[in-house]
Structure 1
Amino acid sequence: MANYLDLPHRREIETLARSFTARTEWPTWLLLVGVYAGWFSVILASHWLGLWLSTLLLIPLVTLWLSLQHELLHGHPTRSTLLNTLLGYAPFAVWYPYTLYRDSHLLHHNDQDLTLPGIDPESRYLNQQQWDNSSPFERRVHGLTKTLLGRFLLAAPLAIARLVRDQWQRLPQVWPMWLAHGAMTLLMLGFIAHYSALPVWHYLLLVSVPALSLASVRSYYEHRPHPQPEQRTVINEASWPWSWLFLNNNLHLVHHDLPKLPWYLLPTVYRARRRQWVARSGGFVVQGYGQLISRHSLKAIDSPRHPFA
């Protein structure tokens, strides 16, 4: 447990960890059943629901699945890496193999390296050399992704293109992972083609890509460059629709400090010591995604150039 926590706070968290809810992990189990049942239900009922209502239901459902995969890779609802991998392997979001996401994201949790380009695998910044080597067009694109609208529209296609480029270079080492993921994805797409009203291309382009775009709203401004690692991670006090969709990962500093804490306990731990968390973040607090939408839909939130990398 994080060593900066005072003794009463440690005891509160330990008490929560011994609770029936935490020991059984029933909220995560229930959510797993709900997401699987929801996805299959929408797919099978899509002829009755219609193409576009099915699409509107599937996009947030797949986004929620991405949030749930994040819980699985952090050791919930079981302590078994193998079992959690099996539970999270379904390729509902298509583009990223679960094991690739898991391994990359766990590297991201080295807080000393947060935001550093080339070290933090989830950094949204460029170092000076990368900036100098970028064309004017590339610089413009990087600048656009620093607006919320630009990130929503561009993050998913750029991430997919970067994934293809990077994984193609590593293909001799990673082909077994892609073979397994590709086989599962083909089975899923065959199921969609046979049982649903959605064409395969429609699911690929108008369900999975928008779901990635919606998920990118959460990661739009969850880290910033700062000399102090604990002040690089945001606390976003989002309202319930967003916090539910992102499984409370908007309380991102709490998650980074206590990565083993399950999603349903994050708000309780945060509210119990809100003043301490805000002080630890250096005041890096956002009052919900509405604030980001109103202020930064068209205005860049910061520079794509990292100030000290």
Structure 2
Amino acid sequence: MNLDVPAADAAAPRKVEAPTLVVAAAIYGGWLAATYWHDAIPVPLLAVAGGWLIAWHGSLQHETIHGHPTGSRRVNAAIGFPPLALWLPYAIYARSHVAHHRSPAITDPLHDPESRYVTHARGVAGMAARAQATLLGRLLLGPPIAVLTLLVEERLRARRAPVAVLRDWVPHFLAVALVAEWLAWARFGIGHYILLFVYPGMALTLLRSFAEHRADLSAPGRAATVERARILGLLYLNNNLHAAHHDRPDLAWYRLPAHYRTNRARLTGDARPAYPTYGAIARAFFLKRHDMLVHPAHRDAAP
């Protein structure tokens, strides 16, 4: 799998990063244990553990896309590839995220594939954006909307580049089949797995990205910072310090806090820390829209 990474990531060869390998071992070991002993775990606790593991695995995939924990792209991709969340092929996520970092206009939906903004509020895209404008909508409706959006986009891409689509999806489906085989052997129904692992895991990931970028910020990558996130900081591998990550995408997750502390004034700019905690985000936006749906660059042209 040949994946380009942001230029800063490829600047120098890396040694093996033990903290990330420990996280990877905890994720895969925890996933095997939780799925194997699922019958012995109370359902609420299983949902918490399952959601944590899926979201944590997404954070690990993010690290591998940025060239961690080894100097080998193939090894890193192999570490991040297993589709524990079932729905998103690793190759598609990697390309999308690299394009996000390389975008000449981060947050503009015409240039940034990970933008939450739209060019206009009409049609299905506008409806999807409105459905996720509040944190409640993001957590409840965001997961199915993300899956449906991917399927629609991939169906359109299949018409233009069927071979490329097969190249992305065939290895993914084979790996999903192995996950499904393990779940069947552990007598963990796929429906229960989606409900107790995938859905809460996607919701936790969407909590992180809900207020992650704002078009009005001057920070690197127009990225917001959640300054205090003790437990969720571990879950997100310090990606709550998102301006620091965009400033130095080559830094391993455990080096981001020191970089943020050293460069706090520059990274926050005139915005200061955008949010003190994820609790503050929840209190402010649980039932209130976070931002305008239409990107500022397109508001004059929007009806």
Bucket of the pairwise TM-score, normalised by the shorter protein: 0.7 to 0.9
Aligned match for 2:201, one of 204, 207, 211: 211
Of 219, 223, 226, which residue of structure 2 is paired with 1:236?
A: 226
Q: Is contact 1:97–1:181 with CA below 8 Å preserved after alignment?
A: yes
Q: Deviations over 1:244-290 (max 9, x none)?
A: 110000100110110000000001111123223222x6435211111
Paired residues, number = 283
1:26 aligned residue? 18
1:262 counterpart = 2:252: yes
Question: Which among 45, 54, 71 is matched to residue 53 of structure 1?
Answer: 45
Distance (Å, rounded) in 2 between the aligned partners of 1:282 and 1:292: 15
Counterparts of 1:179 and 1:112 in 2: how far apart (Å)?
32
Question: Which AA in structure 2 matches 1:297?
Answer: F
Aligned to 1:163: 150
Contact 1:28-1:76 at 8 Å conserved across structures: yes
Whether 2:77 is the aligned partner of 1:85: answer: yes
- Structure 2 regions of 5+ residues with no counterpart? 1-11, 299-303
Higher alpha-carbon Rg = 1
Distance 2:221 2:92 in 1: 27
Deviation at 1:119, TM superposition (A): 1.6
Q: CA-to-partner distance for each residue in 1:60-109, whole Å, 9 max, x for gaps?
A: 11110000100000000012111111111111111111111011100000
- Shift of the alpha carbon at 1:111? 5.0
Tell me the CA shift for residue 143 of structure 1.
2.4
Alpha-carbon distance between aligned partners in 2 of 1:151 and 1:113, rounded to the nearest angstrom: 24
TM-score of the superposed pair, with normalisation by structure 2: 0.87
Q: Structure 2 vs 1, CA of residues 170 and 208 (structure 1 numbering), >3 Å: closer, same or farther?
A: same
Aligned partner of 1:297 in structure 2 is 286
| C-alpha RMSD of matched pairs (Å) | 2.1
Residue 104 of structure 2: SS of its match in structure 1?
Answer: helix
CA shift in 2, pair 1:177/1:70, >3 Å: same
Q: CA deviation at 1:23?
A: 4.0
Stretch of structure 1 that moved more, 156-165 or 54-63:
54-63
Counterpart of 2:118 in structure 1 is 126
- Structure 2 equivalent of residue 225 of structure 1: 215
- Report what 2:272 is aligned to: 283
C-alpha separation in 2, matches of 1:84 and 1:232? 27
Counterpart code for 2:151: V
* Residue number among 166, 173, 177 corresponding to 2:168 in the alignment: 177
Q: TM-score normalized by structure 1?
A: 0.85
In the TM superposition, 1:56-135 aligns within 5 A as: 56-127=48-119, 130-131=120-121, 133-134=122-123
Question: 1:303 is aligned with what amino acid?
Answer: M
Q: Taking every aligned residue pair, what percent have the same amino acid on both sides?
A: 34
Quickly say closer, same or farther: Cα 1:99–1:140, change in 2 above 3 A: closer
* 1:54 Cα offset (Å): 2.8
In the TM superposition, residue 201 of structure 1 has moved relative to its aligned partner by 1.3
In the alignment, the residues of structure 2 paired with residue 230 and residue 29 of structure 1 have an alpha-carbon distance, to the nearest angstrom, of: 28
Supply the AA of the counterpart residue of 2:278: Y
CA contact (8 A) 2:243 2:268 kept: no
Query: Which residue number in structure 2 is paired with residue 188 of structure 1?
Result: 179
Distance 1:48 1:205, change over 3 A: closer
The offset of 1:202, in angstroms, is 1.3
Find the aligned partners of 1:239 and 1:228 in 2 and give their Cα distance.
22
Distance 1:153 1:24, change over 3 A: same
Matching residue of 2:8: none
2:106–2:221 contact (8 Å) kept in structure 1: no
How far residue 53 of structure 1 moved from its aligned partner, in angstroms, is 3.3
User: Which residue does 1:200 correspond to in 2?
Assistant: 190
- Unaligned residue ranges in structure 1 (runs of 5+): 1-16
